Structure 1
Amino acid sequence: MPHTPGDARSLADAHRALRTAVPDRQVHSSGPGYADGVALWNGAVNHRPALVLTCTTTDDVVLGVRTAREFGLPLSVRSRGHDWAGRALADGGLTLDVRPLSGVRVDPATRTAEVGGGASANHLLAAAGEHGFVGATGTIGTVGVAGLTLGGGYGPLAGRIGLAADNLLAAEVVTADGSVVRTDARHDPDLLWALRGGGGNFGVVTSMTVRLHAVPAVVTGLVLYPWHQAGQVLARVREAQHEAPDDLTIQTGVIAAPDGSPALLVLPTWSGDVVTGEDPSGPVMALTRLGDPLLAQLDTVPHATALAGRDAMFPDGRHVTIRTRSVPALDEAVADVVERFGGRLPTPQSGISLHHFHGAAARVAAADTAFSLRRPHLMAEILGIGEDTGGWADAASAALAEHAFPGGYANLLGPDATDQIPHVHGDNLPRLRRVKAAVDPDGVFAATPLPMS
């Protein structure tokens, strides 16, 4: 059942109960600790929880869940804070800040890592890199591993190793009644299935076991083409994506050039043999010859270095609106939309990014994980950065809609995407509803869109 902000008496009682159970420094209703707890990547979010509990252990999470239930408070989980829609914060309720749960422990023998629910991609890659491994991540290092994974987890290595969700092997979860559950392929497998793309709607993930991969280095970087060549370059990118081997993921889109004008971005990541990636006649370097580039900067670096290097492009605190659509391919109709809206970015910080889904990620059966869209496709991320950019983002999304699959990427869909939300999980929705009813019948957790009726 939906939760509403607690009344003053229940909030005061909850505050006292928390301060009785944990040190004062972990419970915040104001002051610097509170300000830090509610500061998200999207500065436009104005949700304000009444209380923030800093969770340093799984027991703290259990305490927070049980306290919210006892006093009837809305509950949310805040990790690295990159959900643009602000669902990390329980407006008028209790927010559990799990950032301290950021440890990563690598087992080289099994090629796995135990990753805390508050860890970022940078944390995971730093630990895995000490043993010559990488984990499945998104494109930015500061994004939380848990949130990314639970929603699916597109990333630059997806063609070779699959989505982040595909690499989730087990999890420790605090469920809505305050129980601590360990789920894996043998224990509560339905819950594990739901966590692989069904979002953070089933409990608080305090730790995860994820699969690691031997990728010593990647060949990556960016190629910028002048805007008047956009049509030609997009057509050639379409061909390159269609022919791309698993080891090559080709992200493309529109960003502002240094002079503020739009430019066509091609961002490849090659995770195979470095010699092939660096070969001037190979498939990676061919992407520097799709036109006459303004800039072509491709390097061989550890995957961790590549991700961390992009963090500065997306600083905290700016106003952000995101829309998303998933399209079968970069055909002429989609390219036309990209050109129309990319040619009039509302601010120099805004942009359009097309994430390449193919290879290993597309060979997983739709029913094997909660993430159901397993056909090769492009996930369009329309970023309006700055105030009053929502109209542009809405118009771009509407223009792509007639060329897109129903639904969209759960991690980027806001609560107002009512035309897309019913279709996010496709034929997997009935099973997800059954898992939700079993572990959270009162609807305590609502992290990403999951229609229950």
Structure 2
Amino acid sequence: MPHSPDHARSLAEAHRALRTSLPAGQVHVSGPGYADGVALWNGAVRHRPAIVLTCTSTDDVVLGIRTAREFGLPLSVRGRGHDHAGRALADGGLTLDLRPVNDVRVDPAARTAEVGGGASANDLLAAAGEHGLVAATGTIGTVGVAGLTLGGGYGPLAGRAGLAADNLLAAEVVTADGTVVRTDARREPDLLWALRGGGGNFGVVTSMTVRLHAVPAVVTGLVLYPWQQARSVLERVHAIQQDSTDDLTIQVGAIAAPDGSPALLVLPTWAGDVATGEAPSGPVRTLARLGGPLLAELAAAPYAATIATRDAMFPDGRHVTLRTRSVPALLEDVVDVIERFGGRLPTPLSGLTLHHFHGAATRISPADTAFALREPHLMAEIIGIHQPEESGEHVRSWADAASAALAEHAFPGGYANLLGPDAIDQIPHVHGDNLPRLRRIKAAVDPDGVFSATPLPMA
């Protein structure tokens, strides 16, 4: 879409102002630096900012925000670029690229880490692992810690450690007027509350302090079952999940087997005593005896290594359609939907995964964090992926149909980090009874709506 002459002048003036204050290598309007700045995990995103500002410090973030405000430019924050909806890029505006702000400092005595706003889960876990510690992260290591945490942060340690958001202790935030604010339990506690699940809608988080946990190793891996056994295996997994201890979190899903046929994935993570996790009759290896598996690879390993090894499954640049629903459990009607749609994946790259929310994550009151859904449940990630040269119409149709089929068995709302702006039936319910408080905080710290990261209805 062509820009108006006034917009073009504003862009030119903003570019000059930034180039006057910063080295040319940090301000990109074209060239390799620009191309790198706009390359996201979801290659289907077509948003293109006019300027990409590579931030190396909090001062750079302050300058970027004030410049965007002065010249009336749309503003966005790019962390690791995993938001499927492309909200990391401000179309026609200014994007702050935080990736260089990725330092991690661990305090092993306090079991905390200070994490830069551009750090990935791999960055955090590598640093924590040097001290035999882990952090609550998602399943993939290239995902940004800040984005994951601010939206909630489901992951393999949910039972033992809770959500990533539950482990957020403090943050440095640059607000919409360029003010640097430090928030923790004593200072600006409302803002900290909002950051624990309310998304990046309140400012730019340039650093955060997160709680770490003493888990020297986990027992994990994958078990693949033929799709013909999916229903019976899921019924057995359901029974196990109902009685699961905090130490065992079980992800299940439909993926393509090596020969391209649909298969049922069972992916356990045991965060308790390693000997118990490795015992032949223990809770982990039992999951390889729920039927006749095609493959069963389970072993003890450092948590950081297990997360990093999964990155190759989700490289940047493919085209992604993502939908999400949250269902109470693997009840019969839910299994019906999984069996129907998991059995006809639109491409070998696609999948339907259910993330296990239980244990420590359920023992936090819905009012204590912005993340409101604290009942035990499974978060369904319906992910359709195809290569850029392929048409994605059938992929989108499959994802939409699967989401609609799960809707009647699901909680209202859904997981904010995976909801796109077109999920109009879910967005009003994401934050439940916490929405009025989130609106008040948003109005106080960002009255002009500068930041828009995850769905937050303001009217």
TM range (shorter): over 0.9
Check if 1:116 corresponds to 2:143: no
Question: CA offsets per residue over residues 29-83 of structure 1, 9 Å max, x none?
Answer: 0000000000000000000000000000000000000000000000000010000
Give the Cα–Cα distance (whole angstroms) in 1 for the partners of residues 348 and 198 of structure 2.
34
Corresponding position of 1:424 = 430
Q: How far off is 1:423 after superposition?
A: 0.1
Corresponding position of 1:275 = 275
Give the Cα–Cα distance (whole angstroms) in 1 for the partners of residues 154 and 229 of structure 2.
28
Corresponding position of 2:389 = none
Determine helix, strand or coil for the equivalent of 1:102: coil
Give the Cα–Cα distance (whole angstroms) in 2 for the partners of residues 290 and 217 of structure 1.
25
Task: Please give the residue correspondences for 1:316-335 in structure 2 after superposition, counting only pairs within 5 Å.
Answer: 316-335=316-335
Corresponding position of 1:373 = 373
Task: Please give the residue correspondences for 1:191-202 in structure 2 after superposition, counting only pairs within 5 Å.
Answer: 191-202=191-202
Instruction: Answer with 34-43 or 277-286: which moved more.
Output: 277-286
| RMSD, aligned α-carbons | 0.9
Query: Is 1:5–1:93's contact at 8 Å kept on the other side of the alignment?
Result: no
Under a length normalisation based on structure 1, what TM-score does the superposition of the two structures give?
0.99
Check if 1:83 corresponds to 2:89: no
Give the Cα–Cα distance (whole angstroms) in 2 for the partners of residues 250 and 146 of structure 1.
24
Task: Please give the residue correspondences for 1:336-375 in structure 2 after superposition, counting only pairs within 5 Å.
Answer: 336-375=336-375
Corresponding position of 2:245 = 245
Partner AA of 1:422 in structure 2: P
Determine helix, strand or coil for the equivalent of 2:214: coil
Question: CA offsets per residue over residues 70-114 of structure 1, 9 Å max, x none?
Answer: 000000000100000000000000000000000000011111000
Query: Is 1:159–1:361's contact at 8 Å kept on the other side of the alignment?
Result: yes
Under a length normalisation based on structure 2, what TM-score does the superposition of the two structures give?
0.97
Give the Cα–Cα distance (whole angstroms) in 1 for the partners of residues 239 and 440 of structure 2.
42
Partner AA of 2:422 in structure 1: D
Corresponding position of 1:446 = 452
Partner AA of 1:411 in structure 2: N
Partner AA of 2:227 in structure 1: W
Corresponding position of 2:208 = 208
Q: How far off is 1:5 after superposition?
A: 11
Q: Percent identity?
A: 82
Query: Is 1:252–1:265's contact at 8 Å kept on the other side of the alignment?
Result: yes
Match of 2:397 among 387, 391, 400: 391
Partner AA of 2:429 in structure 1: H
Determine helix, strand or coil for the equivalent of 2:251: strand
Task: Please give the residue correspondences for 1:5-84 in structure 2 after superposition, counting only pairs within 5 Å.
Answer: 7-84=7-84
Which stretches of structure 1, 4 residues or more, deviate above 4 A after TM superposition?
none
Corresponding position of 1:308 = 308
Partner AA of 1:361 in structure 2: A
The number of residues matched between the two structures is: 450
Give the Cα–Cα distance (whole angstroms) in 2 for the partners of residues 6 and 49 of structure 1.
17
Give the Cα–Cα distance (whole angstroms) in 2 for the partners of residues 435 and 109 of structure 1.
34
Give the Cα–Cα distance (whole angstroms) in 1 for the partners of residues 196 and 214 of structure 2.
22
Check if 1:407 corresponds to 2:413: yes
Partner AA of 1:274 in structure 2: V
Partner AA of 1:399 in structure 2: A
Question: CA offsets per residue over residues 375-418 of structure 1, 9 Å max, x none?
Answer: 00000000000122111000000000000000000000000000
Determine helix, strand or coil for the equivalent of 1:281: coil
Query: Is 1:5–1:91's contact at 8 Å kept on the other side of the alignment?
Result: no
Question: CA offsets per residue over residues 310-356 of structure 1, 9 Å max, x none?
Answer: 00000100000000000000101000000100111000000000000
Query: Is 1:322–1:412's contact at 8 Å kept on the other side of the alignment?
Result: yes
Question: CA offsets per residue over residues 254-294 of structure 1, 9 Å max, x none?
Answer: 00001100000000000000011001111111100010000
Note closer, same or farther for the CA distance 1:67–1:239 as it changes in structure 2 (3 Å cut). same
Give the Cα–Cα distance (whole angstroms) in 2 for the partners of residues 394 and 330 of structure 1.
20
Check if 1:106 corresponds to 2:106: yes
Give the Cα–Cα distance (whole angstroms) in 2 for the partners of residues 212 and 399 of structure 1.
38
Determine helix, strand or coil for the equivalent of 1:435: helix
Give the Cα–Cα distance (whole angstroms) in 1 for the partners of residues 292 and 324 of structure 2.
30
Q: How far off is 1:6 after superposition?
A: 7.1
Q: How far off is 1:357 after superposition?
A: 0.2
Partner AA of 2:304 in structure 1: A
Gaps of 5+ in 2: 387-391
Gaps of 5+ in 1: none
Corresponding position of 1:433 = 439
Give the Cα–Cα distance (whole angstroms) in 2 for the partners of residues 132 and 416 of structure 1.
42
Partner AA of 2:262 in structure 1: P
Check if 1:140 corresponds to 2:144: no
Partner AA of 2:431 in structure 1: H
Give the Cα–Cα distance (whole angstroms) in 1 for the partners of residues 410 and 375 of structure 2.
12
Note closer, same or farther for the CA distance 1:266–1:5 as it changes in structure 2 (3 Å cut). farther
Query: Is 1:200–1:448's contact at 8 Å kept on the other side of the alignment?
Result: yes
Note closer, same or farther for the CA distance 1:358–1:5 as it changes in structure 2 (3 Å cut). farther
Query: Is 1:6–1:92's contact at 8 Å kept on the other side of the alignment?
Result: no
Query: Is 1:6–1:73's contact at 8 Å kept on the other side of the alignment?
Result: no
Determine helix, strand or coil for the equivalent of 1:292: coil
Give the Cα–Cα distance (whole angstroms) in 2 for the partners of residues 196 and 251 of structure 1.
23
Note closer, same or farther for the CA distance 1:330–1:8 as it changes in structure 2 (3 Å cut). same
Determine helix, strand or coil for the equivalent of 2:124: helix
